Amino acid sequence: MPELPEVEAVRQSLDKKIKQKIVKKVIVKNRNLRFKVKNNFESFFKNQKIKRIERFSKYLILFLSNNFICLIHLGMSGTIHLIDKRKTNYQTNTSFYSFPMLPKKHNHIEFIFDDFRLVYNDPRRFGFFEILKDINELKKRFKKFGPEPFNSEFNLKYIYYYLKGKKKNIKNFLLDQNFVSGIGNIYASEILYLSKIKPDKKANNLSIDECKKILTNSRKVLKIAIFKGGSSIRNFRNISGKEGGFQKDFKVYQREGLNCKRLNCNGIIKKKIINNRSTFFCNFCQK
């Protein structure tokens, strides 16, 4: 599933291509996504301008000129393709996973612009599109979500007192969107490695210094990942056909059995299943 850096890379791609462009029409070929696409979905977009594209957590947010807002979640396998009418046989995929070119199957929704079309492809159909009537409804939609790592509300005091007395392990908290929004499995492992914290350590055993490391390294890891365009563990491309590059910087993720990259550490990277998710860590320097 794409995490915050990958979704941000898609947002930046779309911002360059569809911002201030008018949607001529929308074609829904399959309404049976994670949540069924409403029968009047097409009418919200017809002849409307995409005023801006934002992101919260792992959600793309399209603001329309009629003041309606569209949330997009890519799910497990959703990809967005941009098909330019003037070009053929080039990279189309702005998203995470799947093929860089537009597949022949599972193209569920098309947004038609003057010179190009945007196609949503999703083989597993866990993604969804949701229409909200205004900014107040948007705020209500995310009311139960925790702050993003870059938000000032995600600070040392918040982390320490939120985790204080909690017996769940820290890896699960980093994946808990009620605690912090946008961190997924890949980046949780990398954050805990840089923080020298074992992923199954109980939250109530964390010191204030360890909480500070989680704060600092959450921002550090995600900032670098966004700068490098996310992690291309399969075939991620932005609108320029450029791969994400953060996977080249993985310290632990998918490095099971390899030596720890930390200077003067003799540890080996181990893999452990925590809450049905593959977790990677150094068996020596993470305590």
Catalytic residue among 21, 25, 141, 277: 277
Catalytic residue status for 3:
yes
Active-site residue, selected from the candidate residues 11, 55, 58, 237: 58
Q: Which of 3, 8, 148, 190 is catalytic?
A: 3
Active-site hit among 2, 5, 100, 149: 2
Q: Is 100 a catalytic residue?
A: no
Q: Is 49 a catalytic residue?
A: no
Contact 123, 133 (CB under 8 A): no
Per-residue burial over 87-125, b = 16 or more CB atoms within 10 Å of its CB, e = otherwise: eeeebbbbbbbbbbebeeebbbbbbbbeebbbbbbbbeb
Is 277 a known active-site residue? yes
The residues that are catalytic are 2-3, 58, 277
